[in-house]
């Protein structure tokens, strides 16, 4: 009578064979690299949209023109703007280092007019907060007296210090300050800003 064998009596002869090594002198096959995700395309404002924004339209994509700028690139861009004679060659240096009191900003007539213009309180808060940051960097110079070079001076400081600012809200607040001015100077600065933004748009890559 044949003896029954248990699983323990069966020799383990068929062990799993190790993976075959690559032949000598041949490099091992490289592991496939994970696929890289394509960078999302930047949404840039069109020239027509910039023109509509100057007249009062909303244009959040305007921030794209400044969001990724570092100081060196910003300086090079401003130099090109100056060479194109879009702004006066004279460049005012900010010499004061004293930080102004926020109460002065809140009491400015142009700030009061902006509060009346922006019926939406959240919109008013965002735009005035952005304008306040630039006002501090210009050491308390009234926004109604700003020219485009003043704006660029504030933007340079903001970029250099890596301050958190929504550029669309800042630019829109200043646009509305200039639109509220009765003097032709406000319209002149809007036209200069329009030309500069159009120039920056042409120089910006997606």
Kindly indicate the confidence band of residue 29, based on its pLDDT and cuts at 50, 70 and 90: low
- Tell me how far apart the alpha carbons of residues 83 and 21 are, in angstroms, rounded to a whole number: 65
Segment 185-203 mean pLDDT: 95
pTM reported for the whole predicted model: 0.78
Inside any domain, residue 12? no
pLDDT computed for residue 43 by the predictor: 87
Residue 2 in domain: no
Q: Of residues 95 and 168, which shows the higher confidence score?
A: 168
In a domain, 20, yes or no: no
Number of domain units in the chain: 1
Domain that holds residue 65: 47-85+100-203
Q: In this structure, is residue 33 part of a structural domain?
A: no
- Compute the CA torsion angle 130, 133, 139, 140 (nearest 10 deg): 40
- Report yes or no: 158 and 134 within 8 Å, Cβ to Cβ: yes
- Asked whether residue 160 is assigned to any structural domain, the reply reads yes
- Flag whether 158 is in a domain: yes
DSSP 81-107: HHHTTSS-S--------PPPPHHHHHT
**Phi, psi for residue 55 in degrees, rounded to 5:** -85, -5
- Nearest of 108, 114, 88, 105 to residue 180 by alpha carbon: 114
Residue 15 lies in a domain: no
Please report which confidence band the pLDDT of residue 16 belongs to, taking 50, 70 and 90 as the band edges. Answer: very low
**Within-domain flag for 161:** yes
d(CA 155, CA 137) in angstroms, rounded, equals 9
State the pLDDT at residue 205: 81
Task: Report the length, in residues, of the chain.
Answer: 206
């Amino acid at each position: 009578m044949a003896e029954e064998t248990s699983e323990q009596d069966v020799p383990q002869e068929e062990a799993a064979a190790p993976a075959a090594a690559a032949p000598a002198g041949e490099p091992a096959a490289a592991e496939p690299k994970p696929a890289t995700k394509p960078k999302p395309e930047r949404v840039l404002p069109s020239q027509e949209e910039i023109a509509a924004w100057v007249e009062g339209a909303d244009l959040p994509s305007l921030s794209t023109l400044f969001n990724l700028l570092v100081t060196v690139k910003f300086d090079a861009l401003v130099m090109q703007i100056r060479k194109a004679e879009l702004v006066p060659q004279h460049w005012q240096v900010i010499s004061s280092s004293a930080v102004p009191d926020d109460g002065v900003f809140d009491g400015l007539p142009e700030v009061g007019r902006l509060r009346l213009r922006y019926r939406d309180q959240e919109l008013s808060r965002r735009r005035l907060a952005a304008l306040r940051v630039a006002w501090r960097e210009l050491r308390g110079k009234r926004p109604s007296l700003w020219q485009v070079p003043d704006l660029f001076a504030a933007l340079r400081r903001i970029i250099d210090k890596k301050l958190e600012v929504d550029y669309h809200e800042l630019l829109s607040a200043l646009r509305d300050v200039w639109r509220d001015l009765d003097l032709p100077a406000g319209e002149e600065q809007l036209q200069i800003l329009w030309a500069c933004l159009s120039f920056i748009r042409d120089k910006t890559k997606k």
